[in-house]
Amino acid sequence: MTEISSLFRLEAATAADLMADSPVSLRSSAGVREALALFTDKSIGAAPVIDEAGHPVGVLSRSDLLVHEREHGVKIGHSPAFFFEQEVRHGKKVPEDFEIENVDDCIVGDLMTPAVFSVSPETPIDKVIAEMVALHVHRLFVVDHSGTLVGVISTMDILKRLRPTTAKE
């Protein structure tokens, strides 16, 4: 077992020091498939949803997509003609329990959480952390004085900036 006995310091003073700038975002009119592709391609778990002015209006997470799929996934059913064509074309037998699925035309705006927890770039880091803990969130969005999204701070961003203190500190 490893024992951690040192204290840590956070190498950041404000939200601007921690934030990832130019965050990946989605428009509320984006489709579910577009959101899934974005999350997969960028290896992210959530994204802010922005309006035309770049102001955050909500958040969409992988969890939101999974819940939606679980609740609304619709199966079309078994199509012997489709399976026969696949066997002829690809030379592989399609499992008998395989079903064709109806494509979801739902949009991000229908699935997003319409709440945005944000801070300004000047917010002190202790307040950023206190907000994340109090709100039970994994990320806070950083908005400028006009309300435009300029960055995001995740719990991973905070962990990446932790450093062990030395004996002299």
Quick one: tokens of 95?
């499992």
- Reply yes or no on whether the pLDDT at 78 is more than 60: no
> What does DSSP assign to residue 107?
B
The reported pLDDT for the residue numbered 53 is: 86
Q: What is the pLDDT of residues 36-58, one digit of tens each?
A: 999 999 999 999 999 888 899 99
Q: What is the pLDDT of residues 134-144, one digit of tens each?
A: 999 999 999 99
The reported pLDDT for the residue numbered 124 is: 97
The reported pLDDT for the residue numbered 152 is: 94
Q: What is the pLDDT of residues 4-24, one digit of tens each?
A: 557 888 999 999 999 998 889
Where are the extended beta strands (E) located within the chain?
8-10, 20-21, 26-27, 46-50, 56-61, 75-77, 100-101, 118-119, 139-143, 149-154, 162-164
What are the chain's domains? 10-164 (3.10.580.10)
d(CA 68, CA 104): 10
State mean pLDDT over 77-96. Answer: 61
* Greatest pairwise CA separation for the chain in angstroms: 75
CA dihedral 16, 58, 70, 87 (to 10 degrees): -80
Greater pLDDT, 131 or 53: 131
C-alpha torsion sign, points 98, 107, 135, 39: positive
Q: Closest Cα to residue 119, out of 146, 140, 136?
A: 140
- Reply yes or no on whether the pLDDT at 95 is more than 80: no
